[in-house]
Chain A
Amino acid sequence: MSWFRKKVYPPFWESYTQCFKEKPNAEVENIRFVVFDTETTGLDIKKDRILSIGTIAVISNTLKVSDNLECYIKQDLYNIETVKIHGILKEGTINKITEKEAIIQFLEHIKNAVLVAHHAAFDVAMINQALKRLHLPKLKNKVLDTGHLFQKLKLDTSKKHFSLDQLTLLFNIPQHDRHTASGDAFITALLFVKLLGVLKKKNTVLSLAYLQRSNERIGHL
């Protein structure tokens, strides 16, 4: 009897889902990737909250600075412990918006893009939790994980997880604005295009399916 209880979603969610009606671009060259990062109050998906979201779009190996999102979210829950990492004050001078407003902006921005993040599962889970609080379904986007892409290179099989710091070092990426969502998104985006470059050499035709394929589950997803 599910059609009786078909939920009515707000317009922003409807226009978001509408984006997925279009047939996604098959060539990696032309896909709009949105590389993103979330700063959170902690690592507990249930309890902790998103402090800020930063994104930058990547199309055909080009980082589009103009196609980005950077927002900070008002907090009810505030974890003093993590302030020393992200440096965002509870009250502060940065213009903050509600979690709902942030989600609206985020969905409007990402559309049907393929999302990219470092250890993406966590960031995606955090967003999904926020969606859940708004009584909305999970993200519909395809997701790539730079940590996972690195594993594909089989450059270093010593461990499963490589932090963003370790990889930026390995790939000679300058560390600016580390631990701001935008800064990390930017670094991740650079790492992403570098990884694609190396992967391309190994496997001349890159397909999205290939990039997504994983032998094992990584992270919390």
Chain B
Amino acid sequence: MNTIAKRISDFLKDFPPFNMLHKDELLAISKAVDILYLEKDSDLFITGAPIKNQFYVVKDGAIGLFEEETNVLVDECDEGDIFGLRALIRKDSYKLTATALEESIVYSLSSELFENYITTNPEASAYLMTSFVSNTRYSELNLQKPNQSSEGIQDFFEEQSIDFSKNPINCSPETSIKAAAIIMTHKRVGSIVITEKNKPLGIITDKDLRIKIATGIISIEEPVTKIMSFPVITYPENITVAEAQIAMLKYKITHLCITKDGTPNSDLTGILSEHDIIVVRENNASALVKEVKRTSTTKQLQQIRKQAEQLLKRYIKQQIPIVFASKILSAINESITQKIIDQSIKEMPTPPPTTFAWLAIGSQGREEQLLLTDQDNALVFNNVDKNNYKKTQQYFLMLSKKINQKLEIVGFELCPANMMASNPTWCLSVSQWEHQFKKWIITPDQDNLMLCTIFFDFDFVFGDKNIVTTLSEGIFKSIASHDIFLTYLGLNALKNPPPLSFFRQFLVERNGEHKDQFDIKARAMMPLVDAARLLILSKNIKTHNNTIVRFEKLVELEPQNKDVFLACLKAFKNLLYFRTQQGLLHNDSGRFIDLKTLSKANRLELKSCFKAVKDVQDLIQTRFKLSQFL
């Protein structure tokens, strides 16, 4: 009986890598823990001191790790954080000084415990190594990096079962090839199973008919056994997507027979084709897009958007790469919008007086909108002569109003800041838009900068694409003649410094509706979006809107800064994923996060995202010589 040890293990079990240990191992560790009480400002170890045979876990309070010379706070450890391990592993002296930032209780664990329980556990040691590596700036360890292609591993984590055809078309071995082909044609299937007493013998597919029959090698009057492939590959009914894929690859086949017990000696109950897998793989995404094209009412579109949300939920659950998920979702959103514009034009009394383009702006323009958020859009129409301007704008405002309303019905809330095409400021002719840009660029005050950041991520959705090209060229011309603008945009990109001391209370929202919650959009995602936009605009590139694609392009353009951009890329993907997950969980935009609900692993992941923000902001500050302004 050891109540105290039990209490300690109860605490540790919530934090990695301790949560990866067996209960008994954890209890053994807990029994051997020393508990330190540190007063505020007292040191646990100091730079240069010989290492103690211990590493530490923060139980309560916060421990700051400082670089001795500069007195810079390198890291802040709070509840569940481990520190002091690096020196222990290196068998070296301490490189940093650990000081209690507030009064703290710290668990002290011996190196023996570390060796006996943590290094022997592959999962736990892998975790520790990864967290060291992710802590790039202060990673002094020359340890083997874990496999970087973690996303590849997570690709399609498919353990779900598949919907396969439950009524397989079959025929007897005596059936003629011609008769079998007639059955297949009649039933509209690409394969037929040859069975005897309902046990699968062989299979004929469209491909067999093409290769073996249409070439005239074998007569169509011959029995099916002449051309069937056999033996068939059989699987039980609970086959997973992954198993099916592997089987098809392994045997180089496109159809699997499903039998009662999974062997060829039991009853045939279904047939699973490569197509069934594709359907699962796309999770009906393409089907949804097709459905959008077929629908006629806004209500139906609303239904489809809801289905898309279910799809997204499944993607997140299956840990499908967020880039893939956002592409699919953007494609669905785009086709819904196109359909709505189509419908709205039909409802107008006359066809459009001139060509126009409908633009998605902001996050929609960047294709980063996974969850239903409010709509941001704009309309640009071809130049018309002065006398017709008012009338033309009125027409498009009316059209836009219809479109905005329909989008609202579908589920895209109206933009509270009224950044929509039905707003006269966001519904202009090409030359009026250019004029407006110039104004924003010449006088980059707070408001205008914000408008730029929203509009510069525009994406063409519907209409005349040439108009958009003209518009882009105009923007770059204006920027080129006012290069101070990029400086302002740079300052704007540094407006939100990364919350490196994330989990201390002072960085959550202080007031308002979201008091005590963390604003993941403003504090983590926007800085990355702003940085990517600024850097890509400074390269005169307009074709890349998406933040991830922008960073990919930057990696290509600036190999010398590859590490920074790759880190940003990874961070943004993580944040997007995280926000989507949170949003689905709480049925909101996912923007505000209650820190208390986060797991330690999530916290650590978020922390590494902030390091990326910090690095890219440093880069911007140097490149655009912004220090003097800060």
Which A residues are closer than 8 A to B by beta carbons? 54, 56, 61-66, 68, 70-72, 94-95, 172, 174, 176-177, 180, 182-183, 185-186, 190, 193-194, 197
Which residue of chain A has the shortest Cβ distance to B30 in the bound complex?
Answer: A65
Our pick among B2, B34, B37 for the contact of A64 (Cβ within 8 Å) is B34
7 CB-based A-B contacts, threshold 8 Å = A62-B35, A62-B36, A64-B34, A70-B2, A182-B4, A183-B7, A197-B39
Q: Are B8 and A182 in contact (CB under 8 A)?
A: no
Judge if B33 is at the interface, Cβ distance under 8 Å.
yes
For B60, the chain A residues whose CB sits under 8 A away are 174
Which residue of chain B has the shortest Cβ distance to A184 in the bound complex?
Answer: B3
Q: Are B5 and A65 in contact (CB under 8 A)?
A: yes
Our pick among B1, B7, B31, B105 for the contact of A94 (Cβ within 8 Å) is B1
Instruction: Give the complex CA separation of A63 and B33 in angstroms.
Output: 8
Instruction: Give the complex CA separation of A172 and B102 in angstroms.
Output: 12
For A95, the chain B residues whose CB sits under 8 A away are 1
Our pick among B1, B32, B37, B105 for the contact of A65 (Cβ within 8 Å) is B32
Q: Are B3 and A180 in contact (CB under 8 A)?
A: yes
Which residue of chain A has the shortest Cβ distance to B33 in the bound complex?
Answer: A65
Instruction: Give the complex CA separation of A183 and B7 in angstroms.
Output: 9
Taking the closest CB of chain B, its distance from the CB of A192, in whole angstroms, is 9
Interface string of B33-47 (1 = CB under 8 A from A): 111110100000000
For B8, the chain A residues whose CB sits under 8 A away are 65
Q: Are B1 and A72 in contact (CB under 8 A)?
A: yes
Instruction: Give the complex CA separation of A172 and B59 in angstroms.
Output: 13
Instruction: Give the complex CA separation of A70 and B2 in angstroms.
Output: 6
A182-B2 in contact given A65-B8, A65-B32, A190-B105 (Cβ < 8 Å): yes
Our pick among B3, B39, B103 for the contact of A182 (Cβ within 8 Å) is B3
Besides the contacts A66-B34, A177-B4, what 7 more A-B pairs have beta carbons closer than 8 Å?
A54-B4, A61-B37, A70-B2, A94-B1, A182-B4, A190-B37, A197-B39
Judge if B108 is at the interface, Cβ distance under 8 Å.
yes
Q: Are B3 and A54 in contact (CB under 8 A)?
A: yes
For A193, the chain B residues whose CB sits under 8 A away are 37
For A64, the chain B residues whose CB sits under 8 A away are 34
Q: Are A68 and B4 in contact (CB under 8 A)?
A: yes
A70-B3 in contact given A190-B37, A197-B39 (Cβ < 8 Å): yes
Q: Are A61 and B1 in contact (CB under 8 A)?
A: no
Chain B contributes a number of interface residues (CB within 8 A of A) equal to 20
For B105, the chain A residues whose CB sits under 8 A away are 190
Instruction: Give the complex CA separation of A176 and B5 in angstroms.
Output: 12
Q: Are B4 and A65 in contact (CB under 8 A)?
A: yes
For B30, the chain A residues whose CB sits under 8 A away are 65
Instruction: Give the complex CA separation of A182 and B8 in angstroms.
Output: 13
Q: 8 smallest A-B Cβ distances: which pairs?
A: A63-B35, A182-B3, A193-B37, A65-B33, A62-B34, A197-B39, A66-B32, A186-B4
Which residue of chain A has the shortest Cβ distance to B40 in the bound complex?
Answer: A197
A63-B2 in contact given A174-B60, A177-B7, A197-B39 (Cβ < 8 Å): no
Taking the closest CB of chain A, its distance from the CB of B6, in whole angstroms, is 9
A197-B4 in contact given A65-B31, A65-B32, A174-B60 (Cβ < 8 Å): no
Taking the closest CB of chain A, its distance from the CB of B460, in whole angstroms, is 58
Instruction: Give the complex CA separation of A9 and B30 in angstroms.
Output: 37
Q: Are A68 and B36 in contact (CB under 8 A)?
A: no
Instruction: Give the complex CA separation of A177 and B7 in angstroms.
Output: 8
Instruction: Give the complex CA separation of A61 and B60 in angstroms.
Output: 16
For A197, the chain B residues whose CB sits under 8 A away are 37, 39
Q: Are B4 and A194 in contact (CB under 8 A)?
A: no
Instruction: Give the complex CA separation of A27 and B225 in angstroms.
Output: 96
Taking the closest CB of chain B, its distance from the CB of A89, in whole angstroms, is 14
Instruction: Give the complex CA separation of A177 and B6 in angstroms.
Output: 10
Instruction: Give the complex CA separation of A61 and B103 in angstroms.
Output: 14
Q: Are A65 and B34 in contact (CB under 8 A)?
A: yes
Instruction: Give the complex CA separation of A167 and B391 in angstroms.
Output: 78
Contacting residues of chain B (69-114) with chain A, CB-CB under 8 angstroms? 103, 105, 108
Taking the closest CB of chain B, its distance from the CB of A59, in whole angstroms, is 9
A70-B1 in contact given A65-B32, A65-B34, A190-B37 (Cβ < 8 Å): yes
Instruction: Give the complex CA separation of A104 and B31 in angstroms.
Output: 22
Taking the closest CB of chain A, its distance from the CB of B114, in whole angstroms, is 16
Q: Are A66 and B39 in contact (CB under 8 A)?
A: no
For A70, the chain B residues whose CB sits under 8 A away are 1-4
A68-B2 in contact given A62-B108, A176-B7 (Cβ < 8 Å): yes
Instruction: Give the complex CA separation of A63 and B31 in angstroms.
Output: 12
Instruction: Give the complex CA separation of A54 and B37 in angstroms.
Output: 20
Taking the closest CB of chain B, its distance from the CB of A1, in whole angstroms, is 47
Instruction: Give the complex CA separation of A180 and B4 in angstroms.
Output: 10
Q: Are A66 and B31 in contact (CB under 8 A)?
A: yes
Instruction: Give the complex CA separation of A4 and B4 in angstroms.
Output: 47
Taking the closest CB of chain A, its distance from the CB of B626, in whole angstroms, is 43
Which residue of chain A has the shortest Cβ distance to B37 in the bound complex?
Answer: A193
For B31, the chain A residues whose CB sits under 8 A away are 65-66
Instruction: Give the complex CA separation of A54 and B5 in angstroms.
Output: 12
For A66, the chain B residues whose CB sits under 8 A away are 31-34
For B36, the chain A residues whose CB sits under 8 A away are 61-63
Contacting residues of chain B (14-37) with chain A, CB-CB under 8 angstroms? 30-37
Which residue of chain B has the shortest Cβ distance to A72 in the bound complex?
Answer: B1
Instruction: Give the complex CA separation of A87 and B103 in angstroms.
Output: 33
Which residue of chain B has the shortest Cβ distance to A65 in the bound complex?
Answer: B33
For A71, the chain B residues whose CB sits under 8 A away are 1
Taking the closest CB of chain A, its distance from the CB of B247, in whole angstroms, is 52
For B4, the chain A residues whose CB sits under 8 A away are 54, 56, 65, 68, 70, 177, 182-183, 185-186
Instruction: Give the complex CA separation of A65 and B105 in angstroms.
Output: 14
Which residue of chain A has the shortest Cβ distance to B10 in the bound complex?
Answer: A176
For B108, the chain A residues whose CB sits under 8 A away are 62
Taking the closest CB of chain A, its distance from the CB of B504, in whole angstroms, is 16
Instruction: Give the complex CA separation of A172 and B4 in angstroms.
Output: 18
For B5, the chain A residues whose CB sits under 8 A away are 65
For A190, the chain B residues whose CB sits under 8 A away are 35, 37, 105
Which residue of chain B has the shortest Cβ distance to A190 in the bound complex?
Answer: B37
For B3, the chain A residues whose CB sits under 8 A away are 54, 70, 177, 180, 182-183, 186
For B1, the chain A residues whose CB sits under 8 A away are 70-72, 94-95
Taking the closest CB of chain B, its distance from the CB of A158, in whole angstroms, is 24
Taking the closest CB of chain B, its distance from the CB of A63, in whole angstroms, is 4
Q: Are B35 and A65 in contact (CB under 8 A)?
A: yes
Which residue of chain A has the shortest Cβ distance to B3 in the bound complex?
Answer: A182
Taking the closest CB of chain B, its distance from the CB of A97, in whole angstroms, is 11
For B103, the chain A residues whose CB sits under 8 A away are 172, 194
For A54, the chain B residues whose CB sits under 8 A away are 3-4
For A182, the chain B residues whose CB sits under 8 A away are 2-4
Interface centre among B1, B4, B8 (most CB of A within 10 A): B4
Which residue of chain A has the shortest Cβ distance to B110 in the bound complex?
Answer: A66
Taking the closest CB of chain A, its distance from the CB of B60, in whole angstroms, is 7
Which residue of chain B has the shortest Cβ distance to A174 in the bound complex?
Answer: B60
For A68, the chain B residues whose CB sits under 8 A away are 2, 4
Instruction: Give the complex CA separation of A49 and B1 in angstroms.
Output: 21
A194-B37 in contact given A56-B4, A70-B1, A70-B3 (Cβ < 8 Å): yes
Instruction: Give the complex CA separation of A88 and B60 in angstroms.
Output: 30
Which residue of chain B has the shortest Cβ distance to A171 in the bound complex?
Answer: B103
